[in-house]
């Protein structure tokens, strides 16, 4: 059950890839340096893990948005 | 306006400027930084004492020290207020006529964005995964060389070797230039190293020699890559266009120099500090080896946090601003002390504890976040993973001798570490 969506601020993202180092099944920095988001949905049980990923982004480019 | 010319009253008697202070150990220095974190989170200080230059020579009034993790992150992320281009990023004062921009390190967006993007694709997780085979092979070679070696100097024989070789691989330096590339990388920081020469002239000559080598190599490699493009950073540099223009040879050389300093001393120091810590804590070493592949990623973050190889970088205020209870003026130098942030107990419980199982708290070892976040962080971590695996499995019995430490306000370093490898 999707409780949250991951949002990427493309203006801030520079493809550093800390997100990919934490969940490479969901985040992939392409060879051109652009972030590819595989499945932006986050469940309630995953929330804490993805909040940590959001916090770990050095460019503050990630956000978790609540889905109604 | 003349930069760094505003004088401010001292609000603390805590000294972080003198040579005597910087000659103290990492732990002793942090006693002072802890007091600053608690009593004066933003404070004014006299310019860092230089081996040769007087205040008249460099003309700088002093600097603001920002020492808490949260504030360091704020400064790092607000590049429009705290610029890297305006006065460059060196805390240590130098002769104003000698201030040279260290490529994109000393640029702000949008220039920084364009230059960094030229090579950032070589530093993505996938690119580093492709480089891993080479890194692993080199790490194994370096460690195999010292198995059962008896008495050796660990920094020279092990810790210093991999970083420059990896930078060389990334750039595409030909194998025949590798040794000289490594030697000259070390010479670049000679100006503040009292062991590199007795006088300013002597030390400058050492740096000059190193510059000369990199200029020669850069020119040679650029010409080679024009003719025969390859899959390396040098090719990316000769092919790149920024604002519709190709990079000129001095841009290319400065970038090579930046990678050769940034990618050299840093990983080398983290390796040495971490080996010292692991030898002193066999329980942690055992814990790590118990499930290396699952535990090493978190562990290397702690290794970087603990070692904090880059002590600080500076920024220049682009406007007047109230910060940490102080009034910073436009043109003032602001030093952000990552090594202090990494010991801030507001962010880390028991911050002096080397704890490889620490929950992955974002540390400041790769900077405070924002656009200048260490481009090479992934390369550093890949090197540490490879080196530690080899060291911990192939050199199970290391006896530590008495280390000597780098006296330096920029790099938190171990100069020599005699060991006995059985």
Of B121, B360, B378, the CB nearest to A31: B121
Dihedrals φ, ψ of B77, to 5°? -85, -10
The residue-averaged pLDDT of A15-28 equals 94
Q: Would you state the pLDDT for residue B81?
A: 98
Say if residue B130's pLDDT is above 90.
Answer: yes
Give the distance from residue B361's alpha carbon to the nearest chain A alpha carbon, in angstroms.
8
- pLDDT at res. B99: 85
Indicate the average pLDDT of chain B. 94
- Whether residue B199 is predicted with pLDDT greater than 90 in this model: the reply is no
Q: B26 in the Ramachandran plot: left (φ > 0), alpha (ψ -120 to 50) or beta?
A: alpha
For A14, the closest of B367, B371, B378 (CB atoms) is B371
Using pLDDT thresholds of 50, 70 and 90, give the confidence band for residue B193.
confident
B399 φ, ψ to 5°? -105, 125
Give the nearest chain B residue to A19 (CA atoms).
B125
Instruction: Pull the structure tokens for residue B76.
Output: 């790092």
Dihedral (CA of B252, B122, B288, B145) sign: negative
Mutate which: A33, A53, A55, A61, vs B, most B CBs within 10 A: A33
> How close A68 gets to chain B, by Cα (Å)?
30
Distance to chain A for B96, nearest Cα, Å: 32
The ipTM assigned to this model is 0.90
Question: Does A20 contact B360 at a Cβ distance shorter than 8 Å?
Answer: no
Kindly report the pTM of this predicted structure.
0.95
Query: Which of A33, A56, A59 is the closest to B124 by Cβ?
Result: A33
Distance, in angstroms, between A43 CA and closest chain B CA? 21
Q: Three-class SS string for chain B?
A: CCCCCCCCCCCCCCCCCCHHHHCCCHHHHHHHHHHHHHHCCEEEECCCCCCCCCHHHHCCCCEEEECCHHHHHHHHHCCCCEECCCCCCCCCCCCHHHCCCCHHHHCCCCHHHHHHHHHHHHHCHHHHHHHHHHHHHHHHHHHHCCCCCEEEEHHHHHHCHHHHHHHHHHHCCCHHHHHHHHHHHHHCCHHHCHHHCCCHHHHHHHHHHHHHHHHHHHHHHHHHHHHCCCCCHHHHHHHCEECCEECCHHHHHHHHHHHHHHCCHHHHHHHHHHHHHHHHCHHHHHHHHHCHHHHHHHHHHHHHHHHCCECEEEEEECCCEEECCEEECCCCEEEEEHHHHCCCCCCCCCCCCCCCCCCCCCCCECECCCCCCCCCHHHHHHHHHHHHHHHHHHCCCEEECCCEECCCCCECCEEECEEEEC
**Residue of chain A with shortest Cα separation from B365:** A58
- Report the relative pairing of strands B82-83 and B312-317 from DSSP bridges: antiparallel
CB contact under 8 A, A14 and B113: yes
Q: How many CB atoms lie within 10 A of CB B166?
A: 25
pLDDT band at B216 (very low <50, low <70, confident <90, very high): very high
pLDDT for the residue numbered B92: 94
Q: Which of B125, B362, B369 sits opposite A17 (nearest CB)?
A: B125
Please determine, for residue B220, whether its predicted confidence score (pLDDT) is greater than 90: yes
pLDDT tier at A39 (50, 70, 90 boundaries)?
Answer: very high
Answer whether residue B191 shows pLDDT above 80. Answer: no
Chain B CA closest to residue A20: B125
- The per-residue pLDDT for A33 is 87
> Distance between CA atoms of B340 and B331, rounded to whole angstroms?
24
Question: Residue B361 above 80 pLDDT?
Answer: no
Cα–Cα distance for residue pair B141/B134, rounded to 1 Å: 11
**Interchain CB distance below 8 Å, A20 and B125:** yes
> Is B367 in Cβ contact with A60 (below 8 Å)?
no
User: For residue B160, what are the CA distances in angstroms to B31, B139, B164, B165, B186?
Assistant: 29, 11, 8, 9, 9
pLDDT tops 90 at residue A68: no
Q: Which chain B residue has its CA at the smallest distance from A15's CA?
A: B124
Residues of chain B in contact with residue A28, where contact means CB-CB under 8 angstroms, are 126
Could you tell me the pLDDT band of residue B192, with boundaries at 50, 70 and 90?
A: confident
What residues in B contact A55, CB-CB < 8 Å?
A: 362
Chains A and B: how many Cβ contacts under 8 Å? 51
Give the distance, in angstroms, between the CA of residue B229 and the centroid of all CA atoms in the same chain.
30
Q: Give B26 to chain A, closest Cα distance, Å.
A: 26
Q: Considering chain B, what percentage of its residues have pLDDT values greater than 70?
A: 100
List CB contacts (< 8 A) between A32 and chain B: 121
């Amino acid at each position: 059950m999707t409780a949250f969506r991951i949002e990427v601020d493309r203006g801030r993202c520079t493809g550093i890839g800390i997100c990919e180092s934490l969940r490479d099944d969901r985040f992939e920095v392409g060879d051109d340096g652009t972030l590819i988001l595989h499945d932006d949905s986050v469940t309630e049980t995953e929330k804490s893990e993805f909040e940590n990923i959001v916090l770990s982004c050095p460019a503050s480019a990630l956000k978790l948005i609540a889905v109604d | 306006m003349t930069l760094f010319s505003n004088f401010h009253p001292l609000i603390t008697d805590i000294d972080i400027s003198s040579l005597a202070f910087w000659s103290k150990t990492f732990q002793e220095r942090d006693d002072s930084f802890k007091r600053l974190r608690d009593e004066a989170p933003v404070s004014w200080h006299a310019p860092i004492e230089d081996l040769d230059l007087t205040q008249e020579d460099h003309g700088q009034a002093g600097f603001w020290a920002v020492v808490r993790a949260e504030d360091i992150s704020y400064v790092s992320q607000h590049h429009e207020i705290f610029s890297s281009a305006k006065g460059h990023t060196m805390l240590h004062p130098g002769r104003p006529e000698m201030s040279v921009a260290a490529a994109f390190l000393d640029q702000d967006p949008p220039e920084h964005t364009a230059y960094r993007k030229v090579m950032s694709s070589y530093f993505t997780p996938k690119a580093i995964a492709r480089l891993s085979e080479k890194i692993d092979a080199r790490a194994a070679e370096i460690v195999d060389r010292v198995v059962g070696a008896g008495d050796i100097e660990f920094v020279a024989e092990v810790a210093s070797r991999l970083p420059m070789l990896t930078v060389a691989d990334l750039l595409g330096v030909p194998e025949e230039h590798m040794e000289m590339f490594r030697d000259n990388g070390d010479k670049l920081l000679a100006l503040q190293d009292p062991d590199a020469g007795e006088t300013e002239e002597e030390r400058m000559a050492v740096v000059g020699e190193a510059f000369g080598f990199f200029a020669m190599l850069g020119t040679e490699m650029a010409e080679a890559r024009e003719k025969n493009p390859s899959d390396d950073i040098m090719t990316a540099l000769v092919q790149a266009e920024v604002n519709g223009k190709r990079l000129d040879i001095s841009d290319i050389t400065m970038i090579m120099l930046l990678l050769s300093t940034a990618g050299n001393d840093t990983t080398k120091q983290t390796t040495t500090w971490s080996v010292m810590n692991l030898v002193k804590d066999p329980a942690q070493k055992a814990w790590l080896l118990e499930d290396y592949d699952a535990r090493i990623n978190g562990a290397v973050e702690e290794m970087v946090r603990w070692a904090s190889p880059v002590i600080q970088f500076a920024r220049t205020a682009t406007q007047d601003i109230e910060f940490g209870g102080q009034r910073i003026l436009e043109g003032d130098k602001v030093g952000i002390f990552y090594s202090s942030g990494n010991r801030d107990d507001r962010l880390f419980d028991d911050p002096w504890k080397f704890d490889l199982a620490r929950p992955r708290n974002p540390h400041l070892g790769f900077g405070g976040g924002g656009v200048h976040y260490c481009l090479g962080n992934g390369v550093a971590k890949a090197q540490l993973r490879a080196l530690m695996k080899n060291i911990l499995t192939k050199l199970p019995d290391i006896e530590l001798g008495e280390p000597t430490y780098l006296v330096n306000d920029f790099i938190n370093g171990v100069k020599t570490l005699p060991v006995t490898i059985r």
